[in-house]
């Protein structure tokens, strides 16, 4: 089901009531909106603590000014959470296996998270390492109508790639779903066209093809920093899947993953161990999607 559009007003109880109803009916679909609400409440508490630590204005402070300042802070927190916020909502959604949060089209800047490669410097930029939330300019509207359409659209390519890797198509679909939020957040070219990059593969130093630049938050030794990252762009989904196969087969670091490919769960675990992603829960999240009701339901409906 689709969630009601938010009014963007912090005191709109109708929005909260509609969100509670939507959460009961479809918890997975409502997760991004709930995460935004949680982030908004956190920001409100942070602003409240900051105000309390301030000596205030001895000339103009009054009960009325404090009342309106509190309203302002609450509205500010709501607007921040709708426009990308602190990244907390995205982290909550990823932690709970919900992929990425599509950002508000009015957001001035929305960031993407991409992990660092723990390998040698020459391969540092080869792979992103984590799921990402790109700016609205970088992702554009989703080319997929939903999980079923996403699976249907990539299934043939996943089967071809899986045969070459010696694994099952389902695990590649699960990984692509994790990386792109079921296709909602595929990096896009400047003209709005899709990069067809479903696996978060960065350009690297020797990539000769097209590329898309995406603002990202990089995590290194527990420290977060903002930078611009470049991701590979392909002419088709088939090309994107073929390059994913080439990256794994062309790097010695993924030998253990390929050796375990016959077991999809071990394959996901070995990808994590090899450093495909810096997220310590990356393999678990792939397995969660692989075994989850969403993917299994779609596979059953499509009889794949």
Active site residues: 218, 243
> Is 88:38 a contact under the CB 8 Å cutoff?
yes
Decide if 100 contacts 182 (C-beta within 8 A): no
**Three-state DSSP class for residue 44:** helix
Residue 295 contacts residue 168 (beta carbons within 8 Å): no
CA atoms within 13 A on the CB side of 107: 25
- 154 within 8 A of 166, measured Cβ to Cβ: no
- Yes or no: say if 113 and 100 are a contact pair by the CB < 8 Å rule: no
What's the residue count for the chain? 304
CB atoms within 10 A of CB 252: 8
Handedness of CA 243, 249, 253, 256 (dihedral sign): positive
Cα angle: 232, vertex 245, 278; to 5 degrees: 65
CA 263, distance to chain mean position in Å, is 26
Beta-strand pair 223-232/112-113: unpaired
- Distance in angstroms (rounded) separating the CA atoms of residues 82 and 10: 11
């Amino acid at each position: 089901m689709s969630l009601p559009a938010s009014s963007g007003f912090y005191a709109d109880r109708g929005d909260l009531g509609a969100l509670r109803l939507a959460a009961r009916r479809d918890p997975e679909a409502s997760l991004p909106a709930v995460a935004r609400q949680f982030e908004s409440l956190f920001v409100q508490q942070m602003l409240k603590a900051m105000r309390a630590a301030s000596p205030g204005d001895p000339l103009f402070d009054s009960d009325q000014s404090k009342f309106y300042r509190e309203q302002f802070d609450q509205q500010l927190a709501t607007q921040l959470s709708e426009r990308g916020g602190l990244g907390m909502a995205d982290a909550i959604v990823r932690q709970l296996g919900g992929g990425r949060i599509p950002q508000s089209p009015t957001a001035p800047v929305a960031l993407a998270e991409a992990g660092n490669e723990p390998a040698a410097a020459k391969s540092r930029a080869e792979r992103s390492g984590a799921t990402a939330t790109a700016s609205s300019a970088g992702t554009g509207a989703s080319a997929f109508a939903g999980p079923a359409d996403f699976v249907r659209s990539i299934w043939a390519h996943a089967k071809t790639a899986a045969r070459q890797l010696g694994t099952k198509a389902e695990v590649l679909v699960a990984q692509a779903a994790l990386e792109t939020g079921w296709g909602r957040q595929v990096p896009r070219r400047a003209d709005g066209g899709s990069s067809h990059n479903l696996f978060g593969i960065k350009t690297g130093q020797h990539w000769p093809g097209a590329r898309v630049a995406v603002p990202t938050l990089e995590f290194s030794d527990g420290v977060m920093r903002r930078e611009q990252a470049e991701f590979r762009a392909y002419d088709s989904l088939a090309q994107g899947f073929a390059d994913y196969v080439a990256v794994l087969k062309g790097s010695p670091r993924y030998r253990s993953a390929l050796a375990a490919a016959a077991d999809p769960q071990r394959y996901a675990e070995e990808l994590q161990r090899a450093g495909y992603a810096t997220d310590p829960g990356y393999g678990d999240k792939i397995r969660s999607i692989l075994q989850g009701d969403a993917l299994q339901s779609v596979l059953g409906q499509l009889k794949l």
